[in-house]
Amino acid sequence: IGALQAQLALAGYATVRFNFRGVGSSEGASYLPRGPQRECEDVRDVARWLAATRKHHGLPPLESIWVAGVSYGSAIGSAAAGMFDEFAGYVAVSYPASYLWYCTNMQGDAYLEKARTTKPKLFLWGEVDIFAGKKVMEDVVKSMPAPTASYSVPLLDARLGHYFRSTSDLEFLTAKTLAFFREHAPTDPLPDASPPPPPVAGAAKTKPKGKVKR
């Protein structure tokens, strides 16, 4: 997700990346044993924090907020996008369709239903994946209402087939995601930071008008 965040930022999108509670440097404990409702609310709270922070610093409000997640993050992010009005849509990378029951404490069908929103959504996945078999992923995508986009690659990382790691896979991931956002959430181009062109050889020099006081 870090590579995807970096490319979105370079394309002019404001981005925020966080770990779920109890993961990495995030405080608290996972609510997974009781179901991931609180994790979905955490995603919403990050969106509200982002809006409040921009307002506090006098920045203009964002036109829309989207969720992008990988694996467990895509299961929670897609459900949160369907549950809360703060979000305009989502990107689900390596959605763990075959293990959704585990990710949601036996509530897989309910959380898949939350992800079936009419908001724009994008699924990116590998066809050989220990956590998301090809048939089950095809069924998940077919069950989604429009607008839904889906793209897959034959193989991902050699160990689990679950993560986009190689250079070609990451290029595929970022290209499809950027195209999706440019269609549904276009942003203004960044100002040109290139240096000015060199002077043309033989160009006439102009003298300043007026008198120069010494």
What mean pLDDT comes out for the span 90-114? Answer: 89
* pLDDT computed for residue 157 by the predictor: 74
Q: Which two tokens stand for residue 147?
A: 């607008």
Report the pLDDT value the prediction gives residue 158, as an integer from 0 to 100: 64
Alpha-helix residue ranges (DSSP H) falling in the chain: 2-10, 37-56, 72-83, 100-103, 108-115, 134-142, 167-184
Does residue 101 have a pLDDT over 90? Answer: no
Write the DSSP symbol of residue 11.
Answer: T
Strand 89-93 with 66-70, pairing: parallel
Q: Which residue has the higher pLDDT, 172 or 208?
A: 172
**Cβ atoms of 94 and 126 closer than 8 Å:** yes
Number of residues in the chain: 214
Burial tier of 177 (Cβ tally within 10 Å: 0-12, 13-18, 19+): buried
Q: How confident is the model at residue 214 (pLDDT cuts 50, 70, 90)?
A: very low
What are the distances in angstroms from CA 118 to CA 23, 34, 55, 202? 31, 28, 29, 61
Strands of the sheet containing 66-70, edge to edge, are: 66-70, 89-93, 121-126, 148-153
The pLDDT value recorded for residue 104 is 79
* Range 187-198 average pLDDT: 60
Quick one: which of 6, 41, 39, 169 has its CA closest to 93?
169
Stretch 103-116: mean pLDDT: 87
Q: HSE on the CB side for 38, CA within 13 Å?
A: 12
Q: Tell me the average pLDDT across 148-167.
A: 86
Burial of 54 (0-12, 13-18, 19+ CB in 10 A): middle
Q: Has residue 5 got a pLDDT over 80?
A: yes
pLDDT over threshold 90, residue 212: no
What does the pLDDT average to over 133-148? 95
pLDDT score recorded for residue 156: 86
* Separation of alpha carbons 146 and 2, rounded Å: 28
Looking at residue 38, its pLDDT comes to: 84
pTM here? Answer: 0.82
